[in-house]
Amino acid sequence: MTHNKVLIVYTGGTIGMVQDENGSLHPFALDRIYDAVPQLRACDYGIDSVTLDNIIDSSNMTPSLWVDIASIIEREYDHYDGFVVLHGTDTMAYTASALSFMFAHLNKPVVLTGSQLPLGMLRSDGRENIICALEIASTRLALVPEVCIFFMSHLYRGNRSTKISAENFDAFQTFNYPSLARVGIEFSFKEHLFLPTDRQPLQVNKQFERRVAVLKLFPGIGPEVVNALLETPGLQGVVMETYGSGNAPTDAWFIEALEHAIERGVTVMSVTQCKAGAVKMRQYAASCDLDRIGVVGGGDMTIEAAVTKMMYVLGTHHGEPEVVRHLLETPLRGEMSMG
């Protein structure tokens, strides 16, 4: 194995834009990264790069591209100490969550980062984000054996992260879990919060069930909307964004619609609309019917983690409803708290 080497996987996004002589922004070739971030020439570890066949705005991210990213890391896993994925911010938390579920027995850092302003702009936050992400991925400072997001001085667990701002540099937050590290003059790692390592070889699971949907509750939601979603042909799973600690309307039509969907084999999981806190089934009467008909409690998972976990679990355990329920309720990669 070659030591002290990091691989950058470039997917697209704001960070990879530079200005040409006419002032227009366009994606830059990663073999010119030292021109875009000259500070990298001072690094005492090797940096290689690879680009997806088609770089994208992250709004166009798909499960197929998650597989492409994971396949690159799988192929190069034994050749590098860590990996940095340059990614657009809009769906970064979804990709970080998806990759975390795909990688079983991950013992190296996979750090996603990006920027709010392109590298080609004078005030870009991308340079600092790239430099810090590479330092973390190099494993010289600490071994972070999980999929993370680095943004604006903080390292976050990827499947706990949510984008909270479209205009501030501190664009991400993990409301239900502390940051894994803070970067100031020094790198301050909280190693007791890291996922444990093991000696088993990396396993990459690449099956996703795409026939899932999100049902966000709001006052006045009607049967036409709910039934149209629940009766979608081929639907396999629904992540339902409920109120507070998992509350929902108690109207008979609503409960019956969910119950009929569950009886047809649709997996329904409840997560809270709140940024912080957790679903606690039966804490209030307004969630008792959901528990009775078989809605799965999603604990304190983010919507990004809940959606990607459902796609992953349904994709790998199709036709095993009890296994699916058990896995959805169980922390797999630190995405939810116990109890």
Question: Which residues are the active-site residues?
Answer: 14
Q: Is the dihedral of CA 29, 133, 58, 169 positive or negative?
A: negative
Give dist(CA 46, CA 139) in Å, integer. 12
Give dist(CA 88, CA 98) in Å, integer. 15
Give dist(CA 225, CA 212) in Å, integer. 16
Placement of tokens 């591209």 in the chain? 65
CA atoms within 13 A on the CB side of 92: 36
- Angle, vertex CA 324, rays to CA 320 and CA 325, nearest 5: 120
Burial group, residue 335, by CB count within 10 angstroms (0-12, 13-18, 19+):
buried
The alpha carbon of 56 is separated from its chain's Cα centroid by a whole number of angstroms, namely: 17
